Structure 1
């Protein structure tokens, strides 16, 4: 298939592109910079959607970038980087002479309200209680297409674990030094997924015609708490992991509102993802972390 990937130059996009090419698909990236195998966002606006079978959007500013202060300007960037690219691609699909067979958007499990007791599947309510849940609601709304000529899939991703990027890149140094540990109370759930499985779910969604609607992009062992995750990461590295990171430190680094993403969590299960027939390569945390830190 000919696959157009918005924002495909980052951590997830690189893994997805490698998998798609290995499976014989032809990939074109939409990015800010021109280059071989790419078109720019301005070209997309000017010339419309190139001929393709599937469109996937991964574009969006990294919310948990510790180098960026959580202020109004950055919040706006986080919002527009997701909504504008999604609107652009959705409009290009709507106006295309030959619309693609499938349109896939990656959003986040921040749609579901943090809780120490609730369990969320793809049909659970959410999306209206804080900045991040509202962001996911607007983001998914921006992707909706009129009519049914193009199959639509939304993958709500958990924390993506993989080599060379993502959340784990910020955690490895303190853990390697034996200074790692749970964040805050450690009781909060930590919905995670190995990058190979996120790329796998997206590839499954574009190849399998019966897949549509919302899929939770989390591992089946998503009942992991933050403390259990810290312990498993320490074990994978052969290091102790008992030094907690106090909530006040997390709030100082990320800002109070953004810190809730780390200090509170959701128990998310991939009920529909499993029902579609997707088979996980890394369903268990221990094996996933061993692969990541190898």
Structure 2
């Protein structure tokens, strides 16, 4: 029977003030963990990225998590080379910083859990991807490869490495739902582009539980696809959200409009998709609370 390690002691979270990180931090505090946040600003039980090398602050750390990262789909920011570099640095460099801190610890944590994305896989209407599938060749795939490499630790440290390749996270107070809630509420929602592209998704509670699972379960290592086992398209997600809100979803967002708003390279993240299967996640014993898009949408609205 696989061994479990209770989530007790100090947990360090990079990006612990964002949508995903904040929810993970709250869940860990609720069970009595001593949560410390690595962020740009000082505060109660916060460590700044500039103070992270202070070994005294890190004594007794049991697990390290990194979910830091600039919002790629921030429509207020133009897709410039400078913004692209910010997107890379906010993920890759923070992951490296925490990996290097772990390497220098006298008593390293038991596990280092980092996030990546399903952008690792090449967008396709036909291919099916598991955790063992090869990566794509576009900007997002290259970013994910760099991001994941930055998290890897020498085996002799004895620290479990877990990488969660996240799909679109559905939750009440952040992520995609926060961005599209008002248009859908006013009956202006609809499929993006053809709507035929796959839409790998996961409910925020399942994402939180997957991070907890990765920390607690001693047999969990390597890559986990952080997506629901239910495979849907963008059209099917749109209809489920419309049903949950009791609103029509008949106004599509054409591909050329998405490209105009976000730039062609970034628009691919919305107009194309990947059929991602959480094979290792299920094989290792993770249980989902929300594996049906209708139930998930009803809960988040």
Name the TM-score, length of structure 2 as normaliser.
Answer: 0.95
Match of 2:53 in 1: 45
Unaligned 5+ residue runs, structure 1?
A: none
Match of 1:137 in 2: 145
Match of 1:111 in 2: 120
* Cα distance in 2 between the residues matched to 1:141 and 1:229: 32
Does the aligned pair in 2 maintain the 1:48–1:96 contact within 8 Å?
A: no
Q: Is the aligned partner of 1:83 residue 2:122?
A: no
Show CA shifts across 1:100-130 (max 9, x none).
1000100100000011111111111114x11
Q: Is the aligned partner of 1:55 residue 2:64?
A: yes
Show CA shifts across 1:55-88 (max 9, x none).
0001110001111100111001001111110110
Match of 2:105 in 1: 96
RMSD (CA atoms): 1.1
Name the TM-score, length of structure 1 as normaliser.
Answer: 0.97
* Cα distance in 1 between the residues matched to 2:244 and 2:277: 24
Q: Is the aligned partner of 1:287 residue 2:295?
A: yes
Please point out which of 213, 218, 236 is paired with 2:244.
236
Distance 1:49 1:292, change over 3 A: same
| Displaced runs of 4 or more, over 2 A | 45-49
Does the aligned pair in 2 maintain the 1:45–1:88 contact within 8 Å?
A: no
Q: What is the Cα deviation at residue 6 of structure 1? A: 0.5
Please point out which of 27, 31, 41 is paired with 1:23.
31
Match of 2:183 in 1: 174
* Cα distance in 2 between the residues matched to 1:83 and 1:126: 17
Q: Is the aligned partner of 1:12 residue 2:16?
A: no
Does the aligned pair in 2 maintain the 1:180–1:243 contact within 8 Å?
A: yes
Q: What is the Cα deviation at residue 24 of structure 1? A: 2.5
Unaligned 5+ residue runs, structure 2?
A: 1-7
* Cα distance in 2 between the residues matched to 1:13 and 1:29: 9
Distance 1:225 1:21, change over 3 A: same
